[in-house]
C-alpha cells in the first residue's frame, strides 16, 4: 500500500437528485441555477458543520464521507428538512429533492477518492430511499438507533447485485411514501408475451474508473441489439432496461415492470487489456438462477465474448434460429471499441427530442464515422438525426432528407445486417414522398430486428403519416410494449398523433394525458394534437387550455409553418387536423 493510500472506517453518504433528467429537459438553466443555490446556501454548509467532506460531485449526485454515522445522519436530516422548506410553494415539476443513502464500513482512500465495499453498499442503499427521504443500511442503523430519537421504519430486505448477503434498509419516517392520484389504480404487471421474454439490465462497471461505464453500457447495448435480431425472443428495449442503472434491483419487481419472465444481469471489469465478464440468467417467476458464467478475455476479443453470452442465452431459452438469424447474430459490426461506446452514448442523447440534444447527437455520430469509417452505425445514426430534426420541424426538409437517404444507403452498403440502417432509410424515403419504398424499408427494419422498438415506432409513423393510420396503431402499441419505461422518448406523443389521424380522438387525448402523467416530453406538436383531439371530443375547455399552453410557451408558433402538415400524404388528414387545431385556438 502506497503512502498516499489509507484504509479506515467511515460513514459514507450517497445522495442523488430525484428526476434530474426530467428537470433538465424542462429547464436546464433554471435547474442548474437552483441546484447551485441549494448547494451554496444549504447543502455544503451543513456538510461542513457536521464535519463531513464532499468526495465527489457528479452533476445529479454527491458522495460524502463523515467520521461519524450520527453526524452523517444528522446532516442528511438537516438537508432534507431544509430542501423541503425551500421547495414550499414550488410546483412538483420544479421541486428539487434528493434520495440519500447512508452506510458505515471500511473504505480505501487514494488521492482524496474513496473505494471499497463500504462505498459500494452506500450506493446500493441510496436508490432504496424515498424521494426526499433517507435510507440507512442495517450497520448504520445499529449505530444511530439509540443515539437519535427517531422511530426508523423497517424497509425490509433486498437482494442486490454484487452484494453477497440480503441488504436490509431503514427509512427516515418524515419522508412519507409518495401520494398517488386520487382514484388512480396502481398499474398492474404487464402480461407476459407468448414467447420467451427477457430484459438485459445494465451491466455493472466493476472498475474504479467511472469512464469505464461506457464500456459496460456498450456491452449491455450490444447484447440487447443482438437478441433483438431473433424473432423467437421478446427483448425489452435499452431505454427501459437502463432505467434500472445504478439501482439496487429487486429482480422480480423489475421483471413485473418490464413485463418479462427472464432477467439477464452481470458485471464487467476492464483492467488494461484484460476483461472479465460475470453474467447470470434469472427466471424472475421463481427467482431461481438458470445459469451463471464468468468469461475472461482481452479487449481484442471482447465481441467474441459477447457472442458467447448471447448464444448461451438463446440456448437456455430453447429458441430455434433460422439460418439468416444465426448469421446476423454472429456479425460483428465494428471492432473499434471507442467508436462503439460513442455510438451507444449518441443513441441515447436525443431524448427528450430537443433541438440542442438532436444537434449534440449528430456531432457524436459524425465523430463515430471519423473513428471507424467502415462502421455502419455512424452513418445510420447521422441519417437518423437528420430525419428526426426534419420531423420535429428543424431545418430544410428536402436537403436533410436527401442527405439522410445517402447516408442510409452508405450504411446498408457497408453492412446490410445492421438493422438500424433500414429504419433510417425508411424515414429518409418517407420525408421525400417515396411512400411505398418507405413502407418497404420499414418492414425490412422490423424483419431484421423484430424486438427493436424504434423500428416498430417509425414503421407506425410511416404508415400513419402515409395515409394508413389504422395500420399504424399496432406498430406504435408494440413499440410501447417493448419499451414500457421510455418516459423521455416520443412514443406516447407519436401514438397521440397516430390515433388522431385514425380519428380515435379519445385515444389521442388519453395518450397525451398518459405522457403528462409520466412527465414525458411536451412541446408544440403534443399540444397541437391534444388541442385538436379535445376539440373533436367537444372538450372545448381542455382544447383551449392546451392551445393556451402552446401559445404561452412558444408565442412564435404558427400552424402554417409547421412541418407536420407537409409530412402528411393525405390532404383530407391535413385539412381535418388543421381545422380542429385552429378551432381550438392554435394560431394560424
Q: How far is CA 190 from CA 259, 262, 433, 509, in A?
A: 5, 14, 38, 22
Do the beta carbons of residue 484 and residue 187 sit within 8 Å? no
DSSP states along 504-540:
-HHHHHHHHHHHHHTT----HHHHHHHHHHHHHTT-H
Residues 534-562 pLDDT 10s? 999 999 999 998 999 888 878 888 998 88
Residue 67: which residues within 8 A CB-CB, separation 6 or more? Answer: 10, 11, 51
pLDDT the model gives residue 456:
97
pLDDT at 411 over 60: yes
pLDDT the model gives residue 562:
85
Are 5-171 and 334-450 in the same CATH fold? no
Q: What share of the chain is helix, strand, coil (3-state, %, to 5)?
A: 55, 15, 30
pLDDT the model gives residue 75:
96
How high is the mean pLDDT of the chain? 87
Strand, coil or helix: 20 = helix
Do the beta carbons of residue 240 and residue 220 sit within 8 Å? no
Residue 129 cell numbers, joined: 430511499
Least confident span in 75-89, 153-167, 316-330, 502-516 = 153-167
Separation of alpha carbons 16 and 1, rounded Å:
32
Separation of alpha carbons 476 and 112, rounded Å:
50
Do the beta carbons of residue 305 and residue 298 sit within 8 Å? no
CATH number listed for the domain at residues 483-588: 1.25.40
Name which of 411, 477, 401 is nearest 438 in CA terms: 401
Residue 576: which residues within 8 A CB-CB, separation 6 or more? Answer: none
Angle between helices 524-536 and 571-584 (to 10 degrees): 90
Mention the CATH class of domain 334-450.
mainly alpha
For the segment 14-41, the average pLDDT, to the nearest whole number, is 82
Residues 93-111 pLDDT 10s? 678 889 899 999 888 877 6
pLDDT the model gives residue 183:
35
Name which of 202, 218, 235 is nearest 455 in CA terms: 235
| Per-residue pLDDT band at 1 (split at 50, 70, 90) | very low
Domain boundaries along the sequence of the chain: 5-171, 197-332, 334-450, 483-588
| Per-residue pLDDT band at 162 (split at 50, 70, 90) | low
pTM of whole model > 0.75?
no
Name which of 331, 280, 285 is nearest 304 in CA terms: 331
Domain 197-332 in CATH 3.40.190.10? The answer is no
Residue 269: which residues within 8 A CB-CB, separation 6 or more? Answer: 206, 207, 275, 276
CATH number listed for the domain at residues 5-171: 3.30.70.1230
pLDDT at 517 over 50: yes
In a 10 Å sphere around its CB, with 0-12 CB exposed, 13-18 middle and 19+ buried, how is residue 199 labelled? buried
pLDDT the model gives residue 475:
97
Separation of alpha carbons 574 and 559, rounded Å:
11
pLDDT the model gives residue 158:
63
Amino acid at each position: 500500500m502506497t503512502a498516499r493510500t489509507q484504509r479506515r472506517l467511515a460513514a459514507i453518504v450517497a445522495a442523488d437528485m430525484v428526476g434530474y433528467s426530467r428537470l433538465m429537459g424542462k429547464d436546464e438553466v433554471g435547474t442548474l441555477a437552483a441546484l447551485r443555490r441549494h448547494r451554496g446556501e444549504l447543502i455544503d454548509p451543513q456538510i461542513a458543520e457536521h464535519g463531513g467532506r464532499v468526495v465527489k460531485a457528479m452533476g445529479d449526485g454527491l458522495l460524502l464521507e463523515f467520521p461519524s454515522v450520527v453526524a452523517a445522519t444528522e446532516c442528511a436530516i438537516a438537508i432534507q428538512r431544509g430542501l423541503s422548506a425551500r421547495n414550499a410553494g414550488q410546483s412538483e415539476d420544479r421541486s428539487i429533492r434528493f434520495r440519500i443513502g447512508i452506510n458505515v464500513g471500511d473504505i480505501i482512500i487514494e488521492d482524496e477518492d474513496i473505494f471499497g465495499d463500504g462505498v459500494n453498499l452506500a450506493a446500493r442503499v441510496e436508490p432504496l430511499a424515498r424521494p426526499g427521504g433517507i435510507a440507512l443500511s442495517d450497520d448504520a442503523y445499529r449505530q444511530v438507533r439509540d443515539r437519535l430519537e427517531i422511530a426508523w421504519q423497517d424497509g425490509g430486505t433486498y437482494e442486490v447485485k454484487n452484494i453477497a448477503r440480503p441488504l436490509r434498509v431503514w427509512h427516515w419516517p418524515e419522508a412519507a411514501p409518495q401520494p398517488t392520484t386520487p382514484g388512480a389504480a396502481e398499474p398492474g404487471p404487464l402480461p407476459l408475451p407468448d414467447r420467451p421474454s427477457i430484459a438485459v439490465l445494465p451491466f455493472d462497471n466493476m472498475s474504479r474508473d467511472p469512464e469505464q461505464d461506457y464500456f459496460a453500457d456498450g456491452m449491455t447495448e450490444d447484447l440487447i441489439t443482438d437478441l433483438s435480431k431473433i424473432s423467437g425472443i421478446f427483448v425489452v428495449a435499452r431505454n427501459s432496461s437502463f432505467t434500472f442503472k445504478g439501482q439496487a434491483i429487486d429482480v422480480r419487481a423489475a421483471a413485473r415492470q418490464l413485463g418479462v419472465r427472464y432477467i439477464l444481469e452481470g458485471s464487467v471489469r476492464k483492467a488494461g487489456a484484460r476483461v472479465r465478464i460475470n453474467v447470470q440468467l434469472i427466471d424472475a417467476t421463481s427467482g431461481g438462477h438458470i445459469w451463471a458464467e464468468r468469461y475472461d478475455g482481452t479487449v481484442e476479443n471482447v465481441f467474441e465474448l459477447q457472442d458467447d453470452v448471447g448464444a448461451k442465452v438463446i440456448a437456455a431459452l430453447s429458441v430455434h434460429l433460422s439460418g439468416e438469424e444465426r448469421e446476423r447474430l454472429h456479425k460483428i459490426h465494428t471492432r473499434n471499441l471507442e467508436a462503439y461506446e460513442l455510438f451507444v452514448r449518441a443513441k441515447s442523447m436525443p431524448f427528450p427530442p430537443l433541438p440542442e440534444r438532436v444537434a449534440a447527437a449528430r456531432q457524436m455520430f459524425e465523430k463515430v464515422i471519423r473513428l471507424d469509417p467502415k462502421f455502419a452505425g455512424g452513418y445510420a445514426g447521422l441519417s437518423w438525426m437528420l430525419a428526426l430534426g426534419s420531423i420535429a420541424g428543424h431545418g430544410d426538409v428536402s436537403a436533410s432528407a436527401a442527405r439522410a437517404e445517402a447516408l442510409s444507403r452508405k450504411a446498408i452498403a457497408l453492412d446490410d445486417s445492421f438493422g438500424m440502417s433500414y429504419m433510417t432509410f425508411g424515414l429518409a424515403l418517407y420525408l421525400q414522398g417515396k411512400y411505398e419504398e418507405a413502407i418497404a424499408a420499414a418492414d425490412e427494419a422490423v424483419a431484421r430486428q423484430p424486438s427493436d422498438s424504434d423500428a416498430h415506432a417509425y414503421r407506425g409513423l410511416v404508415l400513419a403519416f402515409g395515409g394508413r393510420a389504422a395500420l399504424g396503431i399496432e406498430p406504435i402499441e408494440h413499440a410501447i410494449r417493448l419499451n414500457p419505461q421510455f418516459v423521455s422518448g416520443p412514443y406516447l406523443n407519436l401514438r397521440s398523433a397516430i390515433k388522431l389521424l385514425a380519428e380515435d380522438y379519445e385515444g389521442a387525448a388519453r395518450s397525451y394525458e398518459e405522457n403528462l402523467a409520466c412527465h414525458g416530453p411536451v412541446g408544440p406538436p403534443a399540444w397541437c394534437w391534444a388541442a385538436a383531439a379535445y376539440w373533436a371530443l367537444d372538450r372545448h375547455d381542455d382544447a383551449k387550455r392546451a392551445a393556451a399552453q402552446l401559445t404561452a410557451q412558444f408565442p412564435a408558433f404558427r400552424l402554417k409553418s409547421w412541418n407536420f402538415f407537409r409530412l402528411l400524404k393525405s390532404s383530407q388528414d391535413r385539412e381535418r387536423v388543421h381545422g380542429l387545431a385552429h378551432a381550438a385556438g392554435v394560431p394560424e
